[in-house]
Amino acid sequence: MIVTAARDPAIACVSAQCPGLDGQAAALESFKRMGIGTSLRMIMHGQRDLVRSWLGLSPHRVPIVGKPGTLALMTTQDAWDSFPTLIPATYVNEACARILIRGDKYHPVAYARQVRCPVLLQVCDRDTLVPISAIEKTARILGDLAEVKHYPLNHFEISTGTGFEQGVRDQVAFFRKHLGIA
């Protein structure tokens, strides 16, 4: 949302829920959480997939979600517990492994100075996947354009139940305010 808002001055306002705004910070947090051994194995899987793409071969995939300590993109307990409740039974739990060595280059916070519209940043205070420091940095850069809402939830709890209802209420109020909807 930040990149799109920065590139398109016609956008009136945007909302970002648990936004990933700094791939490098996220990669560093993930590296600390997984440890050096698992992190190096993940990087090797990413390199394998990248080379396969250069050769026109089928992608090498890794699980998106796995139990803590396993080889997957998200290995936190909250991801493992929550993910199955958010996806259909037929969902294939895998992604191209090259994201592991490209994700750190995703850096929307670098575009924040170019944003000219109001931005709702929804922060889950117990988020184990998205560095809250990157959201706070983005809010500081945006200044008065940022409206920050905090929730005592993890990354996934805002997608279900009362967390979802509160998040949606805040989004609707934000859009009504900035789009002039009664």
The domain that holds 156 is classified in CATH as: 3.40.50.1820
User: Do 6 and 72 lie in a common domain?
Assistant: no
User: End of a domain among 83, 105, 127?
Assistant: 105
Q: Are residues 70 and 2 in the same domain?
A: no
Q: Which residues of the chain have pLDDT under 50?
A: none
Is residue 52 located within the same domain as residue 118? no
81/140 same-domain check: no
In degrees and rounded to multiples of 5, residue 52 shows phi and psi of -60, -40
Per-residue model confidence (pLDDT) at position 100: 86
* All residues at 6 or more sequence positions from 162 whose CB lies less than 8 Å from its CB, including other chains: none
Cα-to-chain-centroid distance, residue 63: 17
Of 105, 125, 157, which residue is a domain's last? 105
Last residue of a domain, one of 60, 79, 105: 105
Domain assignment of residue 55, given as a range: 24-105
> Are 68 and 35 in the same domain?
yes
Residues 36 and 87 in one domain: yes
> What is the distance between the alpha carbons of residues 127 and 123, in angstroms, rounded to a whole number?
8
Q: Are residues 35 and 87 in the same domain?
A: yes
Q: Taking the model in full, what pTM does it have? A: 0.88
Tokens of 175: 């859009």
